[in-house]
């Protein structure tokens, strides 16, 4: 997975704080200001313009005062004053961010139609899902010794979970299917490494617990019969299987670089696109690519109640998983095989006309009633 860290931006909203107090008919209502002196504090300069001193600072030559507009103007023109600044309210807002991937797949239109993934069970077989204010974890299991399914210091599984179903709650981010039920199946350790045997256990758990969709944003370069057989069984049991195609793409795209399990017939292989609908150079290509989805600079939930921007086909697979949750809610009586065919029709055809090895059938588009 290719990733990059970004800093969380704090948005500061400034609102002027007005005081209704007035000092006379000839003066405007007083305002609370911060007076910054060039050198030492000189209270007399404030007093000369009928200002009321409220407090002084110890480590900076400044004070807080209540002044009329006329008094502010006079102080601002005084050569001994560095600045007169209005006092303001500072608030730390964590307003919800709608990632470009959500809008480009038309998920908001699906939400307006009442499609949110409600009632759909999704297993994220990954590094776990951390407890997060933007996520609801419905359950799960850990096959990593000494670790709970909500332990995810690596953050990968938490990031995928947010892409799928971060809550639409006016802060943080929002997933493509914000009301889908998330189940954390931890098979990767704190460094994002796991064994094939644990992955098999994770898929087995998903079958036993009647999951609707399984997200596999992980892969290996070589095929294994055991993995193929258990995935085939999950597919026979009606589970939709989604996997990242891999980040091993070549510049000329002539080589089939799709990893396993995405390469198996029972699994939907997902490639990655950027904001302008281009395949990014890292995205694996090959005949098994079924659809493409947003995978470049995707902001989502992360460990320790944080958010992070990452890039990779792992992210794209999360979008397809969420999109399938919307489709399954819209068509509850269709089988997984039938829903897979419906998925092929809800796309924007990119690249050469028809299915191709870069984008599959095309770039996913959320359904609407």
Catalytic residues: 126, 156, 314
Contacts of 130 (CB under 8 A, 6+ apart): 150, 151, 152, 155, 158, 301, 302, 303, 304, 305
Contacts of 336 (CB under 8 A, 6+ apart): 235, 238, 239, 240
Contacts of 185 (CB under 8 A, 6+ apart): 123, 124, 125, 126, 140, 141, 143, 149, 202, 205, 206
Residue 160, φ and ψ in degrees, nearest 5: -65, -40
Overall residue count recorded for the chain in this entry: 369
Q: What are the b/e assignments for 219-255, b being 16+ CB within 10 Å?
A: beeeeeeebbebbeebbeeebbbbbbbbbbbeeebee
**Locus of tokens 């639409």:** 168
Strand 347-348 to strand 363-364: parallel, antiparallel, or no bridges (unpaired)? antiparallel
- Two tokens, residue 302: 């992360």
Residue 261 preceded by cis peptide, ω within 30: yes
């Amino acid at each position: 997975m290719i990733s990059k860290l970004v800093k969380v931006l704090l948005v500061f909203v400034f609102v002027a704080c007005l005081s209704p107090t007035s000092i006379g008919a000839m003066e405007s209502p007083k305002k609370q200001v911060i007076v910054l002196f060039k050198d030492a504090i000189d209270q007399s300069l404030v007093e000369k313009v009928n200002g009321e001193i409220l407090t002084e600072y110890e480590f900076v030559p400044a004070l807080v005062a209540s002044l009329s507009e006329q008094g502010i103007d006079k102080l601002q023109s005084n050569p001994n004053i560095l600045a007169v600044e209005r006092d303001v309210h500072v608030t730390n807002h964590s307003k919800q961010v709608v990632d470009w991937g959500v809008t480009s797949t038309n998920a908001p239109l699906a939400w307006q139609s009442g499609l949110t993934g409600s009632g759909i069970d999704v297993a994220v077989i990954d590094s776990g899902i951390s407890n997060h204010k933007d996520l609801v974890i419905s359950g799960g299991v850990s096959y990593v010794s000494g670790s709970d399914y909500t332990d995810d210091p690596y953050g990968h599984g938490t990031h995928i979970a947010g892409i799928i179903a971060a809550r639409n709650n006016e802060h943080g981010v929002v997933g493509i299917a914000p009301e889908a039920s998330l189940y954390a199946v931890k098979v990767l350790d704190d460094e994002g490494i796991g064994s094939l045997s644990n992955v098999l256990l994770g898929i087995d758990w998903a079958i036993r617990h009647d999951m609707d969709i399984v997200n596999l944003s992980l892969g290996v370069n070589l095929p294994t019969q055991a993995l193929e057989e258990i995935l085939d069984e999950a597919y026979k049991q009606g589970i939709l299987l989604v996997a990242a195609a891999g980040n091993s793409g070549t510049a000329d795209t002539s080589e089939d670089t799709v990893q396993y399990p995405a390469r198996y017939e029972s699994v939907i292989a997902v490639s990655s696109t950027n904001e302008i609908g281009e395949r990014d150079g890292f995205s694996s290509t090959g005949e098994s690519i079924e659809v493409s989805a947003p995978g470049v600079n995707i902001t989502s939930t992360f460990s320790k109640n944080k958010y992070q921007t990452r890039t990779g086909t792992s992210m794209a697979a999360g979008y397809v998983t969420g999109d399938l949750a919307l489709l399954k809610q819209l068509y509850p009586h269709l089988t997984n095989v039938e829903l897979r065919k419906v998925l092929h029709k809800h796309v924007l055809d990119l690249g050469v006309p028809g299915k191709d090895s870069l984008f599959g059938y095309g770039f996913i588009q959320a359904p609407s009633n």
